[in-house]
Amino acid sequence: MNLRTRTLIYAAVALVLLLLPAALSPMLGGDRLATHLAERNEPPSWTHPFGTDWLGRDMFARSMKGLALSLGVGLTAALASGLIAGALGLMAAALGKAADRFITWLIDLFLSVPHLVLLLLIAFVTGGGAKGVIIAVGLTHWPSLARLIRAELLQLKSSEFVLVSRHMGRSNWWIATRHLLPHLWPQFIVGTLLLFPHAILHEGAITFLGMGLSPHQPAIGIILSESMRYLSTGMWWLAFFPGLCLVVLVRSFDVLAGGVHALVDPSRSQE
């Protein structure tokens, strides 16, 4: 089995793992999330693979719902950040010195405050809630990708084949679409894919800290922060399984992004 097939298989498995919670969560509604006081605090078993909580709710159903929610927030936020990064990176490289200076200043400013503090500040300013979480995560993940795209573009613009093309009388549009885009596109796709894991982890972190989503929505962060009150009574499954699911989700994204990178980047696809 060569590397290409193996990468494809890994990426496919990762994709299935990613889509699983979204596919499962509509089937697990209603009854399993309702309170069953007769079966509360049960350790993991065949009927409740992740156990039940202090109200008798099935932890498997709650975890899957939470993962689907995290996935949704992560996707929205990472896409928003990817678009911002792409737009600002392009503007910095295309609109001249003043715009470049302003955008570099903005990137440095965003990176100068610890990311988590920035998330808390923006979530607070937008009034919290699901909206606050999405805005905060979406508005803070772009700087590193924007910097990468800017640097890549500046380097491409001064590269020999672009200069030759310009001297031969090609228009800016022709150069942008035939020379710059093919190089930029893979960088942008992989960069945006690599934002997802960060976005999901940060979404989990600020919901865990109590910013945003209401306690009725089973976000992974909320499930984990609620579980803290019951850990001392030995109910380890409340924290163990939901957290493990989050790790698998994030790792799948990493594997998927790595696979896509290996497939679209010509310098790596021959390894």
Structure tokens at 218: 């089973």
Picking from 210, 154, 184, 188, the residue whose alpha carbon sits closest to that of residue 81 is 188
Q: Check residue 213 and report its DSSP letter.
A: S
What are the helix and strand counts (H, E) for the chain? Answer: 12, 0
Q: How many residues bind another protein (CB under 8 A)?
A: 43
- Residues in 119-158 at the binding interface with another protein, rule: CB under 8 A: 120-127
Between the CA atoms of 259, 201, 90 and 188, what dihedral angle is there, to the nearest 10 degrees?
10
Contact segment (CB under 8 A) with another protein among 37-45, 85-93, 175-183, 246-254 equals 246-254
Picking from 250, 196, 193, the residue whose alpha carbon sits closest to that of residue 220 is 250
* Identified binder of another protein from the candidate list 71, 149, 211, 257, rule CB under 8 A: 211
Q: How far is the CB of 181 from another protein (least distance, A)?
A: 30
Please say which residue, 90 or 250, places its beta carbon nearer to another protein. 250
* 208 is a site residue for another protein (CB under 8 A): yes
* 112 is a site residue for another protein (CB under 8 A): yes
* 3 is a site residue for another protein (CB under 8 A): no
Residue 100, amino acid = D
CA distance 144 to 152: 12
Q: Which residues bind another protein (CB under 8 A)?
A: 105, 108-109, 111-118, 120-127, 197, 201, 204-205, 208-211, 221, 224, 227-228, 231-232, 234, 236, 239-240, 243, 246-247, 250-251, 254
